[in-house]
Amino acid sequence: DGGITQSPKYLFRKEGQNVTLSCEQNLNHDAMYWYRQDPGQGLRLIYYSQIVNDFQKGDIAEGYSVSREKKESFPLTVTSAQKNPTAFYLCAASVGGSNPLHFGNGTRLTVT
C-alpha cells in the first residue's frame, strides 16, 4: 500500500535540543516537501527537494535543515536556532511540477 510515513506522531523536546522528524515514501515520487502548520495560518513551506541530493529553501527555512540522500527519505531537522518550533509538521510528495501533493499524517512537535 503506497503512501507517506511520518514518525513519530508526537514528539516532545526540551528547548535548545535539535530534533529530527522522519519522512519516508514508497510512492516513487521525485519531489518531496516539508510544511509547517500553525492554527489559523494554513501551511507554510519549509524546504522542498526535486531530486536526490538537491533541495531548496521554502518560505520559512530559517532554523531548519534537511537532507535528501535517498529518493524515499527526506528527514527534517529542527535546530535550536528555530525560535518557535512547536507546531504540526507535514511531509508531502508529488511526481513533480504542479501536480497534486500526497501528504503524510504529520508529526506534532512540542518544545518546552
Cβ 52 to other proteins, closest distance in Å?
15
Q: List the one residue out of 110, 109, 102, 82 whose CA is nearest residue 1.
A: 102
Total chain residues near other proteins (CB under 8 A): 26
Least separation, in Å, of the C-beta of 15 and other proteins?
24
CA separation, residue 77 to residues 29, 51, 67 (Å): 21, 19, 9
Closer to other proteins by Cβ: residue 63 or 106 = 106
52 binds other proteins (CB under 8 A): no
Out of 25, 34, 47, 48, the residue judged to bind other proteins by CB under 8 A: 48
Residue 22 touches other proteins, criterion: CB under 8 A = no
Cβ–Cβ under 8 Å, residues 71 and 28:
yes
Judged by beta carbon, residue 47 or residue 72, the one nearer other proteins is 47
Closest approach of other proteins to the CB of residue 26, in Å: 15
| Binding site residues, other proteins, CB under 8 A | 4, 6, 31, 33, 40-43, 45, 48, 50, 58, 90, 92, 94, 96-98, 100-106, 108
